[in-house]
Chain A
């Protein structure tokens, strides 16, 4: 395969060839980013609200532990003998009898109090143990209940909020809407080429659809022509040129601007 005179350089050539390949491999490894890092995905659930409800935090769900009180009574140790020991057995003077009786009453009350406390403590402990046993199932139940309650509350709230918001909007927002309508008309009017509308007083009506960004969705529709085609075109061009149109910051109000009927009197 190789001529005799080629043999003397064959080793050198082989070394060069391998060096070239190693260089290419090195270049590949260095120049490429072989790690394919996937962008971090943030998945968020979004609920869309027509209007923002009064988001008062819902009351914490009432947890009703289901404990049977029967075993509690059984397990309570009888504290009576203990209490009896404390009773004074010595006969005492009459004057002190009343005092004693008073004391007795007090003691009894205290005893009952103590007993009650004990019972309660025991009940609590037992409830704890019971809860431990039932925790899983109960927790799930409670969670579910709480969620249901929350949902119901939110729905109620949102319904209420809607009504309130609607009522408020009707009165308070009318002014803002009018203001922005005027702003929009002014902006468009500034772009109208008046010369195309003649000397008369043409009146045009346009119907436009707006996106929340203030840009037009679709073309403006001429609903009432001025009679002058050039004037109609001039106003339409002005509408297109005025994008983005001024819109209120309030998201709820923006929806009022989705469909607008605008009246233009270019020569006024």
Chain B
């Protein structure tokens, strides 16, 4: 007597054969994975652009041109300046206004300029930090969601085992395999999210340090001018 059975264990049949809660978990995880990857790619592009912007602006700023000209060039531009340029713009605008109003108290002017720059800096940081909390939550929560789906699936497959007199591994194996897919998807969503979160967090930190030091240096320059 020869038994030769080839079970169809393709990933599609495994997903299709899973119970409804497990399928829901899989769908949720797939969506979060898609979204997290989407944000990762968006974030890669924006962080990279912010870095190149900062580089370019620092170069333009420290070549020692006229600050007025630099400001004119920024405000004439079609697009709203970003990153370091927007901090510079906000600071210089505030400084120029104070000058126009004829204030002479240096500390007042500097206070106002600093506040304006601080506000612009906060806006910039908010932009840079966008989506990072989402990545953090995906990284920490999606393994648990996957685990939930797996536990549910395994529970189901073991409950099915109680109805048969002779329990064999082949009766639970497909159920466990399809349940484990949920964990696999959860990990697939979580691992890149955690890695990306850490990378972006450090990039944003370095950018913020750069912005802050620029603010200090620019304040010094303005103070010397006034």
Contact between A5 and B82 (Cβ–Cβ < 8 Å)?
yes
Query: Closest CB-CB distance, A1 to chain B, in whole Å?
Result: 9
Q: Which residues of B are found within 8 Å of A28, using beta-carbon distances? A: 11
Whether B42 and A20, one on each chain, are in contact in the complex, defined by CB atoms closer than 8 angstroms, is: no
Q: Is the interface of A mostly helix, strand, loop or mixed?
A: helix
Q: Measured between C-beta atoms, what is the minimum distance from A22 to chain B in Å?
A: 11
Contact check, B7 vs A36: say whether CB atoms are below 8 A apart: yes
Which listed residue (A6, A25, A38, A41) contacts B6, Cβ 8 A? A38
Per the bound structure, the CA–CA distance linking A24 and B130 in Å amounts to 27
Which residues from A are CB-within-8-Å of B16?
none
**A9 in contact with B42 (CB, 8 Å):** yes
Instruction: Please give me the residue from chain A that is nearest to B173 by CB atom.
Output: A36
Contact B2 A17 (CB under 8 A): no
**Given A5-B82, A41-B1, is A13 in contact with B42 using a C-beta cutoff of 8 Å?**
yes
Residue tally, chain A, CB below 8 Å to B: 28
Task: From the candidates A16, A24, A41, name the one contacting B2 in the complex (CB within 8 A).
Answer: A41
B37–A17 CB distance below 8 A:
yes
Q: Which residue of A lies closest to B33 (CB)?
A: A21
Q: Are B38 and A17 neighbours in the complex by a CB distance under 8 Å?
A: yes
The answer to the question of A93 belonging to the interface, with a C-beta cut-off of 8 Å to chain B, is no
Whole-angstrom distance between the Cβ of A46 and the nearest chain B Cβ? 14
B127 contacts the other chain (CB 8 A): yes
> Smallest CB-CB separation from B14: which chain A residue?
A34
B82 proximity list for chain A (CB < 8 A): 5
Q: Report the minimum CB–CB distance from B12 to chain A (whole Å).
A: 9
Give 14 new A-B contacts, CB below 8 A, not counting A5-B46, A21-B33, A34-B9. Answer: A3-B127, A12-B45, A16-B37, A20-B37, A21-B30, A28-B11, A29-B10, A38-B5, A38-B170, A40-B3, A40-B4, A41-B2, A42-B1, A43-B1
A residues bordering B, Cβ < 8 Å?
2-3, 5-6, 9-10, 12-14, 16-18, 20-21, 24-25, 28-29, 32, 34-38, 40-43
- Interface residue ranges, B against A (CB under 8 Å): 1-11, 30, 33-35, 37-42, 45-46, 49, 82, 127, 130, 170, 173, 188
